[in-house]
Amino acid sequence: MNDLAPVTSIPQLEADPFDLANILDPYDFHEQLRETGAVVYVEKYDTYAVGRHAEVRSVLSDWETFTSTAGAGLSDIRKPGGWREPGPLVEADPPLHTSRRGVVSKIISPKIIKSWQRTYAAGAADLVARLCDQQDVDGARDIAEAFVIENFPASLGLEPHRENMVIVGNFNFNALGPKNALFEQSARQLESISEWFNAVQGREGITPGSFSEQVYDAEDAGELEEGVARGLVRTVLRGGMDTTISGIASTIRIMSERPEFWAKLRQDRSKLKLIFDEVIRLETPIQSWYRTTTREVTLGDFRLEADKKIQVFAGSANRDPRRWERPDEFDITRSAAGHLAFGQGIHLCIGQLIARMEAESVLNALLDRIERIEPAGVPTYRPLNTMRTLQTLPLRLIPA
């Protein structure tokens, strides 16, 4: 970023990023965002926004200028009115971020993740076997959501609770946006389960030896500051649920729409490992989140003020025609490397190996048993401020 670049007035974005129509079908909105400018000003929320790949990447790569400590959402959590406890990882900068991330990375090392593989594969096989008798299924609820909630919390050593975890997930991604009707509705739902929510926050009931217990042990050993373990366990659980459900549901949707691709994949699974990243490039689960400027800074031709929120649209960057050829097409022959669905820079998703492994487990189990996945109705998306996820995905599974 060149601090000597000229001052040019920042173009104003006419569209509202949180308009329901833009949330449910964001792609025309993304184009408008990218074409309005490399950086835009959103008057309604008094924020900046970036939707082109280069600028999204630049912002996420520079934590000193674009801090996470003011919160990953629209409101500044350091200020009166917006104040809340920051997430111990996602909403921290170095040096705190570095030491906490080090502890989590050591516990969920690639070796540990690999050791989970067999459990995930068995969970997926079991789920698909149950669904084979059913034929008509909802790919979002019966496959993606069921698989992740039945398996992921358990691998962290936590007790799953399906309905409540969905409510918490919806709240998290609505809370990153404005206090609109979606937020209010989620807040009311969260309130209705507050007893459960407060009870599951603690150390009691977690599986001995599990990831979660090891995080608490790290706190006991002084590797983490006192009181941080609980928030870290919650962060990892939250970070890994709805995101992965979204990615797996989109994967199944795309497979159902590409029967010829599915047929080929059943003969030769060598491309299987490439599918998930291309899907989340195309249908990015966390569409946008925020950073905050720590100083006056020049981005592209524009001078940005200090202490302002900037909304980074990974979903738009992942379809930026400046970066991708035929960006709106699912194309397994392209390299999706460089997509920003897992973020970029120091906060790059810590669970990406887990997410890929979960998706591969589901795909493998379906490939083993299902000859064709046929669309059986029009899929719908869930209205959430910052997350793109299928609400319903009616399918017919044709067993082999």
Candidate ranges 124-132, 187-195, 351-359, 390-398; the one touching ligand HEM (CB under 6 A)? 351-359
- Residue 286 binds to ligand HEM (criterion: CB under 6 A): yes
Both tokens of 39, joined, read: 């950086």
Q: 8: which 2 tokens?
A: 């040019």
Q: Which is nearer to ligand HEM, 206 or 355 (CB)?
A: 355
d(CA 387, CA 385): 6
Q: Closer to ligand HEM at the Cβ: 36 or 249?
A: 249
Residue 113 lies near ligand HEM (rule: CB under 6 A):
no
244 binds ligand HEM (CB under 6 A): yes
CB 276, min distance to ligand HEM, A: 7
Does the protein bind ligand HEM through residue 120 (CB under 6 A)? no
Distance CA 218, CA 223 (A): 5
Site membership for ligand HEM, residue 280 (CB under 6 A): yes
Q: What angle do CA 62, 85, 167 make, to 5 degrees?
A: 100
Q: How many residues bind ligand HEM (CB under 6 A)?
A: 26
39 binds ligand HEM (CB under 6 A): no
Bridge-partner residues for 66, per DSSP?
293
CB-nearer residue toward ligand HEM: 235 or 292: 235
Tokens of 199: 């009870």
Residue 190 or 236: the one with the smaller Cβ distance to ligand HEM is: 236
Stretch that binds ligand HEM, among 35-43, 164-172, 337-345, 369-377 (CB under 6 A): 337-345
Pairing status of strand 380-381 against strand 390-392? antiparallel
Closest C-alpha among 93, 349, 386, 320 to residue 239 = 349
Task: Determine if 59 is a binding residue for ligand HEM (CB under 6 A).
Answer: no
Cis status of the peptide bond prior to 95, with omega within 30 of 0: yes
* Cβ proximity to ligand HEM, 71 vs 327, nearer residue: 71
Stated as kind and residue range, the H or E segment containing 261 is helix 259-267
With vertex at residue 300, the alpha carbon angle to CA 342 and CA 3, rounded to the nearest 5 degrees, is 110
Query: Does 72 engage in binding with ligand HEM (CB under 6 A)?
Result: yes
When binding is defined by CB under 6 A, the residue of 247, 300, 327, 379 that contacts ligand HEM is 247
Judged by CB under 6 A, the residue of 143, 182, 279, 354 near ligand HEM is 354
In whole angstroms, how close is the CB of 343 to ligand HEM at the nearest point? 3
Return the ∠ at Cα 139 (arms to 138 and 145), rounded to 5°.
100
| Binding test (CB under 6 A) with ligand HEM, winner from 239, 315, 327, 379 | 239
CA distance linking residue 314 with residue 299, whole number of Å: 17
Amino acid at 363: L
Cα 199 to Cα 377: distance, rounded to the nearest angstrom? 39
Residue of 139, 177, 327, 351 that binds ligand HEM (CB under 6 A): 351
Residue nearest to ligand HEM (CB): 351
Q: Using CB atoms within 10 A of its CB, is residue 237 exposed (0-12), middle (13-18) or buried (19+)? A: buried
Write out the two tokens for 192. Answer: 């209705």
243 belongs to the binding site for ligand HEM (CB under 6 A): yes
Residue recorded with tokens 């589901």: 362
Site string for ligand HEM, 126-145 (x = CB under 6 A): --------------------
Q: Which is nearer to ligand HEM, 51 or 240 (CB)?
A: 240
CB–CB of 47/66 below 8 Å?
no
Where on the chain is the footprint of ligand HEM (CB under 6 A)?
60, 68, 72, 89-90, 101, 235-236, 239-240, 243-244, 247, 280, 285-286, 289, 341-343, 347, 349-351, 354-355
